[in-house]
Structure 1
């Protein structure tokens, strides 16, 4: 009997449903929707001001709409940046206000904290703008004038359904401007009123204040870019803030972090912050004055004045312990005990590798020095074999005045209706969101791919995904340095062979750029290979600068660049190998035999020659900007060579010229005038070199927290003795009895001039070089006379200064028989 067939309509419907599900599965497989665990702000305004078309910020994959599509304040105009390659797509245009103007933002979540970020880049004549910025009735910026790229970040709880951002020119002859505006809501628990107060509590809760971001630091880890933070924040490394790097060591956690319920979240700080840290370097036995090797790791963060104080948020995650209740440590802020016997496993739901943070409110009286010092160290409860301390991240925000807004709680009765309408609308459009996002993502991917294909037809570099170091970034590097230095390019395979596949046993150092390895090329040349951390924006800048600087200059007292590699998304620099390593290791910290006074003078002279050549050996001049004893390397003959040009700046034709730049350098060596004015000159290098001269004379770190407070800063402490005329009391004990007092006095006077408060009062590097060579010749003459028992002064002294266009040649204060200046 013939079996009855199912209805044709059922078969058709089943087949259609099957293929529809299959198509949806394929779409989700190739174009996955954003993770549901990612934070989605209910309020989000991303404006590219003055632009006529949207701007796509690839670093965070966000689309900024032109402010013309939102609202154009009256009496304003747009201005286009003539530069073909601005620092960011957000800097291509600006909105200029000729009279008081404001943007009005309608908010759906006024009771939630919000994040406001303002972008300024003064192109064309915008640097002459002078204006105020306010949010509702609360001032944000007063008499602000942008001289360079500037970004400001604020946290606030609006408590109003409409938020007004106003720009007010300072007077009728001035104007205001802005390049881009970001305003979006945050998780409700990101900022709370639960904190540890180190000052008398304010009457107003913390959430009622306006908070301004000053520092956001990833301790012990690399830079965290916008793409790797769910709230699109940037976290910078702590290398410029840690006082004594040898006190701590950076670590990274290879496992999976466990975010506790009701505690820290991925929005509090990303996993890349909690997964890295700096812990005590318990192998650092240079702290002989600290019993049982107990000492603190400290960081110093510069801050401006504020009558309301600062919010200091410290991020912790125990990624070092192997058992609960194993790690106890203390926390100090500006020398005050902020938290004792901190046990992270007990605080973070009794689990390891679990993120945790503590908020501290620090008052104005705590930062009279213009900085905030954060320290962590072992607790009294620490077991002798478990002594340690850890810190993963630091955020510092200025607590501004109480935020006030018009329309507070206005239309509160309509909240229920608004929420109901929103929820209903969300359910109705939820089914369409997936398809729209998929289509937009596919279209953006196709357009981006087309643009990249057009841009890279001449390049063989592979594309990168998964971090902010994009193919576009690589093309920028290649176009600026590689095409001019093809002879310096070394293949990645050659570097792998030279370093035995970057064998850890060949590692000889590490820094903010990356790790350094010992290697040997196939022709037998010994080299030092510096490999950048992948995806590091700091590495990108240093890589380009090192090649630009070292490909232009050659000098006996500058470390030579042998080559570089930019294959396979790598940034690798190859230098000549310096057998004796950094000068710092020969002064303190390692078991190296002490250097003689003559050796030290010769090393200082060599370094001074290298720096003097940097300042005067080219038409535009070069400022090193990171002179320190660890960046002065010694070869097998103890010949000094200056190294590490990643922070260098071009443009110091003479001592009067200056370069406006963000402050960079190493704590303890930093020129105080540069720190205050952000105006960089070659005299900033002279100051740093003066600190190095003190290290050479005293054989101790420039910052040593284990010493009494008046001795912590070497420069300040030594200058006190110099002014008393008793500098010999603090010199390296191994030098006592080996230096004539008159020579030591001249050396101290040279240092004192280098450390003058203002650059105009400091000598040039050529003058410093001349002084050091003169001191060396007097030293050699004294040794010669003592060896032969003669007191005759008939032997002429020859000042061979290797000076290029710098030495004043003055011999009036010396009894020099012959003065000769040789050019190298």
Structure 2
């Protein structure tokens, strides 16, 4: 039996080991303010002490003190139950001011629990919360107990947090924390999800924690986290819980030198994991998917935590990771990131594009490497909203506040008064200068000159000082002065941005004559996209067709590369099919859109001296005007077809995954039939109203073209159509539509129909839908394509309609090795904006 001395020695050894263990390190913040609002006494939660409202009143500037409390019976049971007992009421704009000792990133945690007390019903409170530079909450209404966590970078001075009631309402707060964040916790760079490039600038971003999740494990409370964070279980976020199993081995977790630390995530997060439920099936082929609710219109920082606690040897676990429809880690071998050590903590940061959906999907799935057991793991996820261009995390403006007026320095006021006359005089001078320059810009905007009126070549601006030229043979394309474009876009007002891509931004604009336009502006610091810029002008200067988006002008002054298009009022076909909340379109509307796009592509293939191959046909590049008339857009990847004595053009593969012609992919032989294949994918996309690549689905359903073809060949296409169309498509119309799409997706190009044949068949599909044709010998034909000669109208001289244009970036990458982010014309459109 061990004596007292033995127990004492054992205790000392345990204490020593705990002190050495990095998992028990506790960050000591330079700035730490914790307040229990409305409480007459201090409150302890773990190692934290929240000061009573009385002791913290020196931080607050408010016209009046209103403190309320509630009974213990109504408080939800959580680690913050004590904070929810009391609250402070703000009937007018009120500001907390905290002295910041150490500049850098700080956490702001706001605790809310609406209850009814005395003369106040906190459930009815509506208010906004802001700092000097960021709107944190706008017209916020608390719904149950919640903790709002923000991370803001404070470079100097004090931190002010202002509560502003909305209208005649009031604001309230149960608890407040302001705490320094360790400098290494959020680095300045991450990986952009789409395109997959390096993103820099996180240090300047304000962040809001949207989700912090412990995969495969229980809740981790703030008492067990070195930075007082809470990690919730993942089960409620799983799309299909049956596809995942949990794994736990917390004692095995280690932290590498110079890598992840306990401040990034505790052992209790890295030591648990969700993995594929593939233990008994070596042929498992599915993805495990989590869905997280988010706000539209913002970018998000997604941090994924990994720790291989499932393998017995290194280089054995390979898997894929997806964020929405983008692959962010392919054939990922975690052991290569941690020098072959198992159970070693690692994380990866990704920045999304502006989200146009109400959720972010994160998926893990098996690698395609042969002879590797299908498995995938994920240990933890953090999702943080990034502020928009206005500095807002809520979408609202920063509320004004008069609470700081009492703190104004008298000397500053006197100085302002003394200098007022000089300021007014200078303002008058600047006003007259501005008016004069504005008039000069307006006059300039009326003096556009033709790009080329005699088929001559014109040298591009300073971007092409080496002699690059663009030739154009039409007199309806114009070079626009840069000043006129500034005027049209309100000097490139950030609030006018309708899309952002790797090369630059797309702005909505209004010309001096009132014409709405879409302005695609290349980033002046980028050398990307010159070839595509030239291609767009060369191609569109030759065309004028009612089903092709019109080029209105371009600018190559001052090292700029700017293209100006008509503005398509109803955005992309893709946005009307899924993901943007638009009303569902009827089958007739969809057919008319398909027919219009087919007419545009048929014109490209046949209406010029050489065939023009679009090379990026997809639903995101089919735009709709105010009448839902379709126009094909985005010609940055277009290429002229083969000579008469040639069968194809040999070129590096470019396009979008899910739409790519497999023959073009394999042999790098480009023909018009490559567009036909991509268009066939669009047809199934129109019919099924789902993405062409969806990693969150079971493996056999991920690729729309493959999935739809299986059902088409079984003669059961009606089983997978858009649910809003079920029972609304005539059987013959659906049958003919499916046959047309199937022919387009033939493996070999020579077996595919021409766009003229496709157009004829789609018009026939529409006839079958509108009325069953009597005594039509071809009504029951199963192979109209190739049997019927195309009866196509002459579209070569069709008029061009002026509409509106919005653009979406390609979902795929340039397979030749050049990222699709380098393509100037592949700019993202914020769906639904």
TM-score by length of structure 1 reads: 0.44
| Structure 2 length-normalised TM | 0.44
Which structure's relative contact order is higher, taking Cα pairs within 8 Å and 6+ residues apart?
2
